[in-house]
Amino acid sequence: MMAFGTFAKAAPIQGGLTQPTVPGPGAIQPVPTPPAIGMPAAIDPATGLPMAKPEWKGPEKALTEVSFDNIPIIEVGKNLKDMFGNEFDVLLPYGATPMAPVNWRWEDTLVTLRLKNVKASEVFNAMNMVFETAKTPLQWDLIMNGHRPTALLRIVNDLVPGLPGSIDPTTGLPVAPNRPHSENSMVFFVGELVGDPKNGGMSLDDILQTMREVYKAGTGGDPQHITCHEKAQLLIVHAVPEDIGFVQSALAALREKARLDARRQLAKEHGAEFKAETGEPKAGTSSGQAGAEHKTRETKPQ
């Protein structure tokens, strides 16, 4: 069977090129060729705009509760596929190389999520919101692979921390490079700081608590990076070199404070002794009583 109709002729233009004329009534419209895999989305011939992607047709059933507690994202994808009866596929970015210079790996991402009465699409959307809030450079895309619903985990390179050209979506400014991840351990003896608080000393627990508070305020790091050995009176720090240097300077300031407190206490005690030797009136004693006591001491036989 053959189809007949009016075809548009090409009118010559300058330079030897041709330009199609407007099709006449009853003209056969060309059928758009489906895009190849990996090619841009098809163009709608009526509007000249990219055609909308097919809507994700995931399972309609809702789970009473979905709970993940520090579960690797690979296991999360597998578990969700099983929970919803294998009604969609999960594609993960296997083979992606670690992102220099921070050596970030998508496989190391842990998911903590607790939801109730949710569909599959709502679970993936909730994870995307958590990723955005935590600035985790991942995103679930819900797409149709032919007739099969598919959840595709995509790495958002612009959000990878420390990657050159990374943009902070909250400010629109480049993200500052992360500090190096290599951590060292350092041990500090703090026995000279342990002692009676009246003489400027502290208990080992007080020293540990103080250093953790100062460490968190000064570096923003995890206070648990600082621990202690009670019997040896040692402070143990596990952190990047610059944070260890901060701890060292904080301990120096703490030692200076202890020396100052000790000098003040000593001056206070010497001041009391000086008053006793010179006969200056003590607190709550009248000058007459003090003079009588002083005179008695002077006339005491040798």
What pLDDT, on a 0 to 100 scale, did the predictor assign at position 26? 47
Assigned token pair, 150: 């598919």
Q: In this structure, is residue 294 part of a structural domain?
A: no
Cα first-last separation, the chain: 147
Q: In this structure, is residue 257 part of a structural domain?
A: yes
What pLDDT, on a 0 to 100 scale, did the predictor assign at position 21? 47
87 and 124 inside one domain: yes
Are the C-beta atoms of 144 and 129 separated by less than 8 Å? no
One DSSP character per residue, 234-292 reads EEEEEE-HHHHHHHHHHHHHHHHHHHHHHHHHHHHHHHHHHHHHHTPPPTT--HHHHHH
CA 194 to chain centre: 36
Q: Which of 125, 159, 193 is the last residue of a domain?
A: 159
Query: Mean pLDDT per 10-residue run, the chain (302 residues)?
Result: 40 44 47 41 62 76 92 93 94 72 75 92 92 88 91 79 51 53 81 80 89 90 89 88 88 88 81 56 49 49 50
271 and 202 inside one domain: yes
Task: Provide CB contacts within 8 A for 160, sequence distance 6+.
Answer: 99, 102, 104, 137, 166
Q: Which of 159, 193, 227 is the last residue of a domain?
A: 159
Task: Provide CB contacts within 8 A for 266, sequence distance 6+.
Answer: none
For the chain, the domain total comes to 2
What pLDDT, on a 0 to 100 scale, did the predictor assign at position 263? 85
- Looking at the DSSP assignment, which residues form a beta bridge with residue 91? 152
Domain span including residue 115: 63-159
Q: Which helix (H) or strand (E) holds 172?
A: none
CA angle 235, 240, 245 (to 5 degrees): 60
- Looking at the DSSP assignment, which residues form a beta bridge with residue 237? 186, 226
What pLDDT, on a 0 to 100 scale, did the predictor assign at position 185? 86
Q: In this structure, is residue 119 part of a structural domain?
A: yes
73 and 149 inside one domain: yes
Are the C-beta atoms of 62 and 119 separated by less than 8 Å? yes
85 and 148 inside one domain: yes
What pLDDT, on a 0 to 100 scale, did the predictor assign at position 195? 84
Q: Which of 41, 56, 119, 49 is nearest to 84 (CA)?
A: 119
109 and 189 inside one domain: no
Q: Which of 120, 134, 42, 125 is nearest to 87 (CA)?
A: 120
Q: In this structure, is residue 51 part of a structural domain?
A: no
190 and 125 inside one domain: no
149 and 115 inside one domain: yes
pTM over 0.75: no
What pLDDT, on a 0 to 100 scale, did the predictor assign at position 212? 92
What pLDDT, on a 0 to 100 scale, did the predictor assign at position 10? 41
What pLDDT, on a 0 to 100 scale, did the predictor assign at position 72? 93
- CATH of residue 115: 3.55.50.30
Alpha-helical (H) ranges within 84-198 are 120-134
- CATH of residue 220: 3.30.1370
Q: In this structure, is residue 32 part of a structural domain?
A: no
Omega before residue 101 within 30° of 0, cis: yes
- Looking at the DSSP assignment, which residues form a beta bridge with residue 238? 185
Q: Which of 110, 126, 159 is the last residue of a domain?
A: 159
What pLDDT, on a 0 to 100 scale, did the predictor assign at position 43? 64
Q: In this structure, is residue 26 part of a structural domain?
A: no
Assigned token pair, 14: 């300058």
197 and 250 inside one domain: yes
Q: In this structure, is residue 235 part of a structural domain?
A: yes
114 and 193 inside one domain: no
Strand, helix or coil at 202?
strand
What pLDDT, on a 0 to 100 scale, did the predictor assign at position 29? 46
